[in-house]
Amino acid sequence: MTWSEMQPLLSQACWDTLYMVGWSTLIAVVGGLPLGILLVLTDRGGLLQNVVANKVIGQVVNVARSMPFIILMVALMGLTRSITGTTIGREAAIVPLAIGAIPFFARLVETAVREVDGGLVEAVQSMGGNTWTIVRKVLVPESLPSLIASTTTTIVALIGYSAMAGTVGAGGLGDIAIRYGYQRFETQMMWITVGILAVVISVIQFAGDFAARALHRRGGRSGPAPKLRLLKAKEPAAADVGKVA
């Protein structure tokens, strides 16, 4: 294949990949952020402690996360059809991509939010703030650097998943690499897609890291990351009572 033959294929594939990853990232963030925060709030000792809800959400997230993406895609075909009217094409691929990424992102959000110092929550409580105020003014802004890093990780993972979306005719770089590079022995085409993917991933990772670090260093000093403390001591045993007193 000559470059003039490859070029339109590649640019279309790039666009398809970005389209799928972009939309599914957006949906994953919108869906995963509240879910991750709920996982922290409903946990034992959390502000909205609800052990049953916590277990249910946790279990759903775990199952969805451990599902191989290609199986999730096939399993969700019915849902995909009811949302997009088809199971083929890039729009159709966005549905399983987003649903696969929501629990993934939710777990990362949970970890990030858990690292917010419980003392800050206590401080806002002592000012008379309610749970919503604490989420908006403490949990999200204070974990923002970690949340940005989590979003970067999710985007990179979604680029990986999107390579499988070719199996439902969604196109994208992964699809090109398999159809041309693997099935037609166009080795050159394969290496070009690999190169493009490497560049795209590096750029995203770099941008994400840069943004996270800039936020973390607010105030011009690169202090150590905030001390890890749980929202509240989980079970104040005798020794813990000693510590808080």
Partner 1 sequence: MHPCPGTPTPVHSTVTETHVITTSGLTKVYRSRGRDVTALDGVDLHVREGEVYGVIGQSGAGKSSLIRCVNLLERPTSGTVTVAGQDLTALAGRGPRAGKELRRARSRIGMVFQHFNLLSSRTVQDNVELPLEILGQSGRARSRKALELLDLVGLADKAKAYPAQLSGGQKQRVGIARALAGDPKVLLSDEATSALDPETTRSILQLLRDLNRQLGLTVLLITHEMDVVKSICDSAALMERGRIVESGTVSELLATPGSELAAALFPVSGERTGADRTVLDITFQGEAATQPVISQLSRTYNIDISILGAAIDTVGGLQIGRMRIELPGRYEDNVVPVGFLREQGLQIDVVGQENLLVKEGAK
30 binds partner 1 (CB under 8 A): no
**Cβ atoms within 10 A of the Cβ of 130, count?**
10
221 binds partner 1 (CB under 8 A): yes
3 binds partner 1 (CB under 8 A): no
Residue 50 CA: distances (Å) to CA of 24, 37, 132, 187:
30, 13, 16, 55
Number of residues that bind partner 1 (CB under 8 A): 39
**Unique residue bearing structure tokens 């917010």:** 116
Position among 8, 78, 219, 228 found at the interface with partner 1 (CB under 8 A): 219
Q: What are phi and psi of 29, to 5 degrees?
A: -70, -45
42 or 87: whose CB is closer to partner 1?
A: 42
DSSP 173-220: HHHHIIIIIITS--HHHHHHHHHHHHHHHHHHHHHHHHHHHHHHTTTT
Residues 6+ apart with CB under 8 A from 221: none
Position among 48, 72, 74, 196 found at the interface with partner 1 (CB under 8 A): 48
228 binds partner 1 (CB under 8 A): no
41 or 155: whose CB is closer to partner 1?
A: 41
193, amino acid identity: T
Sole window of 74-82, 127-135, 157-165, 171-179 interacting with partner 1 (rule: CB under 8 A): 127-135
127 binds partner 1 (CB under 8 A): yes
User: Is-contact 28 158, C-beta < 8 A?
Assistant: yes
129 binds partner 1 (CB under 8 A): yes
Position among 53, 124, 156, 196 found at the interface with partner 1 (CB under 8 A): 124
52 binds partner 1 (CB under 8 A): no
Longest dimension (CA), the chain: 75
**Unique residue bearing structure tokens 């696969």:** 100
Sole window of 56-64, 80-88, 131-139, 149-157 interacting with partner 1 (rule: CB under 8 A): 131-139
What one-character DSSP code corresponds to residue 225?
Answer: P
Position among 22, 68, 195, 236 found at the interface with partner 1 (CB under 8 A): 236
Q: Which residues bind partner 1 (CB under 8 A)?
A: 47-49, 117, 119-120, 122-131, 133, 137-138, 141-142, 144, 215, 218-221, 223, 226, 235-238, 240-245
